[in-house]
Amino acid sequence: MSERVLMKGNEAMAEAAIRAGCRHFFGYPITPQTEVAAYMSKKMPKIGGTYLQAESEIAAINMVLGAASAGVRAMTSSSSPGISLKTEGISYIAGSDLPCLIVNVERGGPGLGGIQPAQSDYWQATRALGHGDFHVLVFAPSTVQEVVDLVFLAYDLAEKYRMPALLLSDGLLGQMMEPVSFPDPVEKFAEKPWAANGHQNKRPHNIINSLYLKPDELERTVVERFARYAEIEAAEQRYQEYLCDDADYIIVAFGATSRVSQSAVDTLRAQGIKAGLLRPVTLWPFPKDAIRAHIPHVKSFLSVEMNMGQMVDDVRLAVEGKVPVEFFGRTGGVIPRPSEVVEAVMKVAGGDR
């Protein structure tokens, strides 16, 4: 591990990707993500890597498809409107079973929206990051250190399962500085016998493709992929709990809102209300098993988000109607105050008194 330094989330993310072995970055500037690309443009030429500012987001994601086909650790980053443009390419990457790292430093939407922090791309990230039957791994860091740690994990799991990984950050995490230390650079990489990187007449050539014109053949590839998704759902649900064991009310929140919610839990506990926080670290696979484990003792769950209520759907799917699931959120780039979250829990608790 390196010495602790104070760094912006966006810059720490770029440095982490480089240390994780990324040498191919393709991007296009957009607030509040631009520091990722700026950092890459400074660093990559010095270490023999490629930084390329593409002519558009669509071009950038297709360059990632090309680089990933050759088996290297490739990356692109953008913010909400730019991610929408990338979704076609992401679908192709998923359909070609390629690993890569995609970053969304979310801002308010829809449309051009605003440039302040938001979590309103949850549905897009977990449901439809492109057309067709597929998932991507979705990681939601809540501190700058976790941004770094999850970059490494995202690459590892993307390669293990041969699928794209999305790091879902937001303007708050991207712009803030916190102390961070970096793991040692990755030097050994997984074998990629599928990569189209030159067969030198020693093996049959590999084809990277997402086109299957025969329905039964396409169905078979999709069903095989979903068998892998089932494995991932069983093995890779990640989350963190704070004071959940005896909680009457559990707040479910990820990323920036989990920090606000943790402050709210402390305030509620000081007032004698047994509140806890369950923070999903992976949004897909969603940590439904952890949520279900608390159903026997909680009176209700409260999903707190910077949107109009998106992750709350997944909480409800996990809970299956066994206890009430409520929602509190702010949107458009407004960061909820801890006091608002306290009030929202009080309102839920009020009904029980």
Partner 1 sequence: MKDWNFVFAGFGGQGILFAGKVTAYAGMMEDREVSWLPSYGPEMRGGTANCSVCLSSRPIGSPLVLEPNALVVMNNPSYDKFIDTVAPGGVAVIDSALVDRKTGREDITVRYVPATRLAQENGIAKLANLIMLGALWKATGFASAEALQAAIQKVVPPSKQELVELNWKAIRIGAGG
Q: Could you say which of 67, 260, 283, 345 contacts partner 1 (CB under 8 A)? A: 260
Considering only the stretches 65-73, 84-92, 229-237, 333-341, report the one whose residues sit in contact with partner 1 under the rule CB under 8 A: 333-341
| Residue 288 contacts partner 1 per CB under 8 A | no
The neighbour count for residue 231, using CB atoms within 10 Å, is: 12
> Interface residues for partner 1 in 114-133 (CB under 8 A)?
115-116
Find all residues with CB under 8 Å of 342, minimum gap 6, and list them.
264, 267, 268
Residue 78 · residue 86 · CB < 8 Å: yes
**Coil, helix or strand at residue 116:** coil
CB of 45 to partner 1, least distance (A): 20
Least Å distance, CB 187 to partner 1, is 28
- Subset of residues 175 to 204 that bind partner 1, contact rule: CB under 8 A: 175-179
Find the part of the chain contacting partner 1 (CB under 8 A) among 59-67, 86-94, 127-135, 263-271.
Answer: 263-271
**What x-and-dash track marks residues 200-239 binding partner 1 by CB under 8 A?**
----------------------------------------
Q: Is the bond preceding residue 336 a cis peptide, omega within 30 degrees?
A: no
Residue from 108, 243, 107 nearest 170 by CA: 107
Q: Which helix (H) or strand (E) holds 319?
A: helix 311-319
Under rule CB under 8 A, residue 255 binds partner 1: no
Task: List the interface residues with partner 1, window 11-40 (CB under 8 A).
Answer: 31-32
Chain centre to alpha carbon of residue 161: 16
Measured distance CA(19)–CA(353) in Å, rounded = 53
CB of 151 to partner 1, least distance (A): 20
Other CB atoms within a 10 A radius of the CB of residue 143 amount to 19
Query: What residues line the site for partner 1 (CB under 8 A)?
Result: 4, 6, 31-32, 115-116, 143, 171-172, 175-179, 259-264, 266, 335, 337-338
